[in-house]
């Protein structure tokens, strides 16, 4: 194993000296997204990343491993089962805080659908009328949750955690604009947003790509990058990760 590590490090060093970027195959899909976020963190002096819709911590792993970010991460995840996994994982990372509630436009109770695959959990019901790519994404149970506004809870969060420049990641399966609406009172702290946008709806009543563009533009944000989330669904695109930055 030691020899293998030496050979690998030597390979990357030689490649760098030749002006070649050597990327492990497992990093290819997210490489350009990771590089964009790394640049945003540097240029905008991001000192906290809000991970809304944390699932079981995949985005935290992406930030630490792919982006190389070692600052404060604050995650939000309402699924009780996922929360158990998150709380166990966060014990190994002192700069990772997890809150077990959902964010939205208003403080009110809503039905939250637990899906067969928890990455598709949503306040919206699944819809396979436009694409059958996720036709097996079925609801296994529905629970009642109360949503909170980000611009309200952030006041309490800042009492115990110090930060000034936030990057906001949204992955709430069709509910991102609701969460963003609930952040209207703290946009002065938000210096970048990563959100999922859809060109083929996979949930009922989910916002279209054009709705997202208009919503963010109206709040002073412009598109900085689009990154496909559906390469395996060739030849048609279904979803993208979209990066918005202040004008």
pLDDT at 77: 98
Domain ranges of the chain: 28-246
Residues 6+ apart with CB under 8 A from 156: none
pLDDT at 59: 98
Q: What is the DSSP string of 165-188?
A: -EEEEE-SSS-HHHHHHTTGGGGG
50 contacts 169 by C-beta, under 8 angstroms: yes
Query: Among 3.40.50.980, 3.40.50.150, 2.60.40.3670, 3.40.50.720, what is the CATH number of 28-246?
Result: 3.40.50.150
Residues 6+ apart with CB under 8 A from 234: none
pLDDT at 17: 58
pLDDT at 225: 96
Q: Which pTM was predicted?
A: 0.88
Residues 6+ apart with CB under 8 A from 162: none
Query: In the chain, which stretches have pLDDT less than 50?
Result: 11-12, 25-26
Task: HSE, CB side, 13 Å, CA atoms: give it for residue 134.
Answer: 23
Position of tokens 């906001």?
168
pLDDT at 130: 73
pLDDT at 47: 98
Nearest to 104 by CA among 112, 96, 93: 112
pLDDT at 201: 87
In whole angstroms, what is the distance from residue 204 CA to residue 175 CA? 11
In whole angstroms, what is the distance from residue 58 CA to residue 51 CA? 10
Position of tokens 């909170």?
148
Burial 19-30 (b: 16+ CB within 10 A, else e): eeeeeeeeeeeb
pLDDT at 132: 72
Instruction: Read off φ and ψ for residue 236, nearest 5 degrees.
Output: -105, 140
In whole angstroms, what is the distance from residue 105 CA to residue 85 CA? 27
Radius of gyration for the alpha carbons in the chain, expressed in angstroms and rounded: 19
pLDDT at 234: 61
């Amino acid at each position: 194993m030691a020899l293998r590590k030496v050979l690998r490090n030597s390979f990357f060093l030689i490649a760098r000296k030749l002006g070649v970027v050597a990327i492990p195959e497992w990093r290819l899909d997210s490489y350009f997204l990771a590089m964009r976020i790394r640049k945003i963190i540097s240029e905008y002096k991001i000192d906290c990343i809000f991970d809304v819709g944390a699932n079981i911590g995949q985005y935290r792993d992406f930030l630490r491993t792919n982006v190389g970010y070692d600052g404060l991460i604050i995650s939000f995840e309402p699924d009780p089962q996922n929360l158990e996994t998150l709380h166990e994982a966060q014990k190994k990372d002192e700069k990772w805080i997890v809150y077990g509630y959902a964010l939205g436009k208003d403080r009110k109770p809503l039905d939250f659908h637990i899906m067969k695959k928890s990455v598709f959990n949503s306040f919206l019901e699944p819809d396979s009328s436009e694409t059958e790519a996720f036709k097996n994404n079925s609801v296994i149970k529905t629970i009642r949750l109360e949503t909170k506004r980000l611009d309200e809870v952030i006041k309490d969060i800042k009492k115990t955690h110090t930060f000034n420049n936030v990057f906001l990641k949204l992955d709430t399966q069709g509910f991102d604009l609701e969460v963003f609406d609930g952040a209207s009172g703290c946009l002065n702290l938000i210096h970048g947003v990563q959100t999922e946008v859809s060109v083929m709806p996979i949930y009922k009543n989910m916002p279209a790509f054009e709705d997202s563009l208009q919503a963010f533009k109206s709040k002073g944000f412009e598109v900085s990058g689009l990154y496909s989330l559906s390469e395996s669904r060739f030849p048609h695109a279904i979803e993208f990760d979209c990066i918005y930055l202040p004008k």
